[in-house]
Chain A
Amino acid sequence: MKLFDYQRADTPEQAAASAVAPGTRFIAGGTNLLDLMKLQVETPERLVDVSRLELAKIETREDGGVTIGAMVPNSDLAADPHVIRNYPVLSRALLAGATGQLRNKATTGGNLLQRTRCYYFYDVATPCNKREPGSGCSAIGGVNRILAILGTSDQCIATHPSDMAVAMRALDATIVTVKADGDRRRIPMAEFHRLPGDRPHIDTILEQGELITHVELPSPPPGGRHAYRKVRDRASYAFALVSVAAVIEVEDGRIAKAALAFGGLAHKPWRDPEVEHILIGQTPGKALFEAAADALVRDARGFGHNDFKIPLARRTLIATLQDLTGGR
C-alpha cells in the first residue's frame, strides 16, 4: 500500500471540499477500496473518511418514498421493514450480494461506486484501459467469461458488479450529491453510471470531490410484483453472471407496468426501454416474453468465453416474467 494522507470529515460539505484535489478518494466501509489499494490498483494520495458522517438513516418521506443515507450499511437497508414491504426487489438484491460480513461493512453510497471485478483490472501486471488509460484491454482476446455483452467498447468490456444498483435502476432511484463547491445535485440512476466508450477509466458522472449523501426511492409502485433473480457460479459469494431486477404490475390481465434492470451484462446496470415497451399493455404469455428477451439481446455481442450470457440472459428474463405474471 502506498503511503497516503488520511482525513476525517465532520460534514458532507466539508468532506466534498476536502476531496476536490485530484488523487483524493472517499472511504466508508472500505470493502472494495482497501483491497484495491493493497494491490495498488488504486493509489490515492489522500483518503477522506466519510464513515462517521450522519448519513446512516433510512427515512420515509411524505410521498411514501424513502430517502436512504449514503452511510446506511447494506445489511440495515436489506432488513428495513419499509424496504422489505414496499421495495422487496431492493432487499432481495442486497441479500444476494457478497457475504454477511461484507454487507455489514459496505455502505449504500460505496456499493454504487464499486469497481469492476474484471480479472485484468485487478492485476497491475497486465494492461487495462480502466486501470491505466491507453494501456489496452487484456480481456478482449483473453479470459472474459464473466464480462459484458452489452454496451461494450473496443477499449473495455468490464461489468459493474453491484446487485443493489441493479434494483435501484429498476426502481428509478435518484442519487443526491453534494459537490466540492457546496452545490447539491440530483442524478437519476439512469445517468449515474457510464458506458465505457473511449474513457473506460471513468465509471460514473460524479465530479472530483462530489459526495453521494443520499439515495432517494420514489413512492413505491402500488401492487407491483418484485423479483431479483441472480444467476451465479456458486450459491453465495460470487458475482452475477446475469441478474434481473423486475417490478411488474398486471391489471385486468394485461401488463400495466414493467421495470426491468439487468446486472452482469454491462458496464452499468442495464435497462432497455424497448424491452419494457414490448411488454406494456400486452397479455402475459410466452411469445410476448420471448419477443422482449429477443429485444434485450438484439445488440448483444459475446467475446468467446462469455457467449453463453446471451442465451442465459434471455432465458433468465423469460423465466422471471413467467414467474411474476403467471404467463406461460
Chain B
Amino acid sequence: MFGLGKSHTNSLRMDAPQPTSLLDIGAQNVIGKPLDRYEGPLKVSGRALYSAEYVFPDMAYGVLVGARRGAGRVVSIDAEAVTSLPGVIDVVTDFKTFIRNPGQGGETEAPTQGVEEIVYFGQVIAIVLAESYEAARDAAIRLPVEYEEAAGRFDFAAHKHETDVPPENNTPAHFGQGDLDQAMAEAAFTVDASFTTPSQNSAAMEPHASVAMWDEDRLTLYGSYQIPTKDAMQLADALGVGKDQVRIVSHFVGGGFGSKLGIAPETTAAAIAAKRLGRPVKAVMLRQQVFDATVRRSNTEQRIRLAADAHGRLIGIGHETLTSNLPGEDYFEPAGIGTHFLYPGEHRLITHDQVRLNLVLSGSMRAPGEAVGMLALETAMDMLAEQMAIDPVELRRRNEPLLDPEKNVPYSSRSLRECLDLGAQTFGWDARETRPAQRREGEWLIGMGMAAAARSNLLQSEEAKVRIEPSGRAVIETAMTDIGTGTYSVLSQIAGELLGLDPRSVDVRLGDSDMPASGGSGGSWGACGSGSAVYLACEELRRQLAKTLGVEPGAMTLKDGLAIAQNKSMPLAELVGDGIEAMGAISPGKQKDAVTQASYGAHFAEVAVNAVTGEVRVRRMLGVFAAGRILNEKTARSQCLGGMTFGIGAALTEELLHDGRTGKLVNRDLAEYHIPVNADVPQLEVLFVAERDQHSNPLHAKGLGELGISGAGAAITNAIYNACGVRVRDYPLTLDKILPGLPDL
C-alpha cells in the first residue's frame, strides 16, 4: 500500500453527459485492442493464488456441516462423537453469529444470521476442524446431530397462490401504466402465454472458500468474493466488530456469476473457528455445499401479454411474474426488469410477486432479471411474429421506441436495430424457413431462431489510486476484483492509454478491501466503474505532469513512457521525481434518471432437433452486441461467449431439482447439474457494433458481462420451434418435453 493522504482526488458525479473522452485522444493506441490477459501467465502457470490455495503455518482445516432437515431446529450436536477421531480438533458453532443465508450483492450489513433454526436443507450449522482436510470431512459427515423437524414449504406449485409483494429492488415490484386489459381487447394481434424457468446455480468452477486469520483483533480473510469492500463490511457487522477490523483479500476469483456477491456461510464459520482456536482456519465448501448452501437463481412463473396493432407495433405489454425466496428475505428475481424499457406500448403491467419457500436463498445470478425474463418475453415476441406472419427480426425493427415508454426520457445510446441488421445479414437469416419443420437432414430437423438482447447499464461508486513510480512504471490500486472478466487487462489498458505507457508497464493490484473502495464485480458495472475511477486518477496525473512541464494538459502528448510538449520529450521517470499519485472517484448522478441506460444486442441460433428422440444440439450461434466503447476486444468477446454458453444451458439443460417432500436438492454436483460441456457448445461468433455512450461514464462504455446471456436462450427456443414445430414454454427444453410433439416415426 503506498502513501495515503498526499494524493489529490479527482471526483466526478455523473450528473451531466461527458461529451469528450480522453481515451479518444490518447496516443498509446492500446484501448480496445485485443490484448492477451494481463494475468494470463500467472493463471496458466499456477502462480495465481486462489483463496483455497493459501496455506499458513499451524493452519487448521475446516469442513462445514449442513443440516439434514429442510425445516426445524437443531436440538443437539454430539461433538464428542467425532473429536476422538484421529486428527480432529474440535467442532465449532455459534448459533447466533453463524450466517444462515448468504449476503446479497451490494449490502453492507450482516446477512441473516442464526443457525439453530433450520430453514432449508443443507443450511450450515457447524464447522468441524481438523489437522487435515480429509479428517475434517470424515468427521463432518459422521457428526451426529439431533433435530426437531418442522413442516416446511418445499413445493412451489403447492404454495404459488400464497404470495406477497416484495419491497422495491432495482425495479419496483409492481408497475402499471394505462389499461392493459383494454389494450388486449382492442389489439389486432395478441399473445397471452405463460412460461416457467427452474431454479439455477451459478456453478462457478471455484467453490466458495475462506482462509481466516486473526492478528490481535483484526481479521484477514482470504475469500473468493466479488465485492471485497462491501463484503468486509458485511462480515464485520456479522461478527460484531468494527469495519476496520476486517480485511478481505480476493486477488483471484474463479468465477462468481453472482454467487460470490455477498458473504456465504463459510466466512463466519472460518472467522469464528480461527478466533476460538487461535489458529488460521481454512474452510472450503464441498461442491455439494456450493449447491446446497450458497445462492440460487429463483425459479419463475411468468405470464406475458402482448397487444399489437395491425402493423405489429406494440400498444400494450404485460409481464407478470412469480418468484420464490426464503421467508423474510427481501430480494426477488426481477424477471420483468428488461421489459420496462425494451419495447414500446402505452399500456403496461409488470409485476413481481414472491412465494415463500424453504429452499436455499435466491439471489443474483448472471443478469438477474433479464436472463430469465427474456426467455419468456423474447419467446412471446416470436409467437407474435408467427401469428402476424412477419419476420421476427422485422417485428423487433418495428418496435424500436424513440423514448423510454415509461419514463419518457431518451435512451443514452441504443443500437439494437444495427445489431439486428448486421446479425441477420452475417448469419444468413434470409435462409430461414418461415414455416416450422420444413428442413430435415436425415434424422435431424433444422431450424433458426433469434432474439433481442438487452441488459440495464448500472454504475456504482468507485475509487482507484494510480501512481507513477520513479521508475516510470504506473501502479493501480483498487478493491475491485477480476472474477475472470478481464479487469486486470482493461485497467492496465486505460492507464496505459492515458499515461502513454505500454500496459505491461502498469502494475494492477486488485481485490483487497484495504485498497480504495470499489463496487466490485457484479451487474456488469465493474469495468466501467473501476475503469472510470482509474481514468479520473490518470486525468489528474496528466494535469500534474503538464503543470511540471509548464503546459496545458491538452498541449502534452504521453506516449511510450515519454511526455512530449513543445517539440521536446522527456521520460516520465524524470518528470515524476519521487513519484506522483492521484485518486479517482466516480459516482452515479442525475444521468441515471435523465436517460435510460442499457446495452443491446441480437442473438441468432441454428439448432438441430432429433426427430426420433427430441435431443437438441445447437449448431451455431451469432451474437451481435453494442455496449458503448469496447475496452479490450478479446476479453469482451470472451465475456459474450461465456454469456451465450450460459444461454445454451438455460435453454436446454440447467435445472436445480428439489425433492418436494423434504426440500432437499438432489442434483448437486457437476455430473448431474447439467451445464453445457464442450460438445454442447458449437461455433459461436461475436460481433460488436461501434458505439459510444457519453451518458454512462467518461469511458463512453457500457456494461457487457451479462449482455451475452440476456436473450440467448430464447433464440435457441425459437430455433427449436422453427426446426420441429414444438413450442415448449417450460424451461429447460429437455427432450422429454419435446418428444410428445414430434411426429410418429
Contact = CB atoms under 8 A, between A and B. Distances in A.
Task: Say if A and B assemble together.
Answer: yes
Nearest to A320: B612
B617 interface: yes
Contacts of B75: none
B739 A231 contact: no
Interface string B357-395: 000000000000000000000000000000000000000
A318 B443 CA distance: 13
A2 B140 CA distance: 11
Contact of A120 (B666, B669, B671): B666
A312 B735 contact: yes
B138 interface: yes
A138 B739 contact: no
B431 interface: no
Interface string B599-627: 00000000000001111010000000000
A6 interface: no
A315 B745 contact: yes
A123 B292 CA distance: 12
Interface string A95-126: 00000000000000000000001011011111
B659 A138 contact: yes
A79 interface: no
Interface in A222-240: 231-238
Nearest to A305: B736
A200 B86 CA distance: 33
B interface majority secondary structure: loop
A41 to B, nearest CB: 10
A141 interface: yes
Contact of B739 (A3, A145, A312, A322): A312
A236 B666 contact: no
Contact of B613 (A234, A237, A312): A312
Interface string B118-158: 00010000000000001001100110000000000000000
B461 interface: no
Given A241-B735, A312-B735, A315-B613, A126 B664 contact: yes
A308 B734 CA distance: 11
A143 B659 CA distance: 6
A143 B661 CA distance: 10
B185 interface: no
Interface residues of B, number: 42
A231 B739 CA distance: 12
Contacts of B662: 126
Interface in A1-54: 1-3, 38-40
B653 A233 contact: yes
Contacts of B134: 1
B612 to A, nearest CB: 4
B667 interface: yes
B355 to A, nearest CB: 20
Contacts of B671: 117, 237
A311 interface: yes
A308 B653 CA distance: 16
A325 interface: no
Contacts of A238: 674
A204 interface: no
A143 B657 contact: yes
Interface in B611-670: 612-615, 617, 652-653, 657-659, 661-662, 664, 666-669
B623 to A, nearest CB: 21
Contacts of B734: 233
B736 A145 contact: yes
A308 B614 CA distance: 11
A311 B613 contact: no
B543 to A, nearest CB: 55
B170 interface: no
A235 B677 contact: yes
B659 A312 contact: no
A319 interface: yes
Contact of A117 (B612, B672, B680): B672
A261 B84 CA distance: 51
A208 interface: no
Contacts of A231: 613, 615, 735
B273 to A, nearest CB: 21
Contacts of A233: 653, 674, 734-735
B34 interface: no
A316 B612 contact: yes
A2 B138 CA distance: 6
Nearest to A328: B745
Nearest to A323: B443
B68 interface: yes
Contacts of A142: 659, 661, 666
A1 B652 CA distance: 35
A interface majority secondary structure: loop
Nearest to B745: A318
B310 interface: no
A186 interface: no
A238 B673 CA distance: 10
B193 to A, nearest CB: 23
A73 B340 CA distance: 57
B678 interface: yes
Interface string B484-525: 000000000000000000000000000000000000000000
Nearest to A142: B659
B612 A119 contact: no
Interface string A129-157: 00000000010011101000000000000
A242 B613 CA distance: 10
A3 B745 contact: no
Contacts of A254: none
B661 A319 contact: no
Contacts of B614: 312
B679 interface: yes
B735 A234 contact: no
Nearest to B672: A119
Nearest to B139: A2
Nearest to A126: B664
A61 interface: no
A277 interface: no
A242 B735 CA distance: 12
B676 interface: yes
B68 A125 contact: yes
Given A40-B141, A236-B679, A119 B674 contact: no
Contact of A236 (B615, B661, B680): B680
A319 B679 contact: no
A312 B657 CA distance: 22
A312 B672 contact: no
Nearest to A40: B141
Interface string B661-699: 110101111011010111110000000000000000000
A319 B443 contact: yes
A40 B138 contact: yes
A183 B151 CA distance: 56
Nearest to B736: A308
Interface-centre pick from A2, A3, A39, A233 (highest chain B CB count, 10 A): A233
A286 interface: yes
A138 B661 CA distance: 10
A38 B613 CA distance: 36
Nearest to A2: B138
B608 to A, nearest CB: 11
20 contacts: A3-B138, A40-B141, A117-B671, A117-B672, A119-B667, A123-B664, A123-B668, A124-B141, A125-B66, A125-B664, A142-B661, A233-B653, A233-B674, A234-B676, A237-B679, A238-B674, A311-B739, A312-B614, A319-B613, A319-B745
Given A233-B674, A316-B613, A318-B745, 15 more contacts: A38-B137, A123-B288, A126-B659, A143-B658, A232-B615, A235-B677, A235-B679, A236-B680, A286-B745, A308-B739, A311-B740, A312-B613, A315-B613, A316-B612, A318-B612
Interface of A: 1-3, 38-40, 117, 119-120, 122-126, 138, 141-143, 145, 231-238, 241-242, 286, 308, 311-312, 315-316, 318-319, 322
8 interchain residue pairs of minimum CB distance: A235-B679, A308-B736, A119-B666, A236-B679, A319-B612, A125-B68, A231-B613, A40-B141
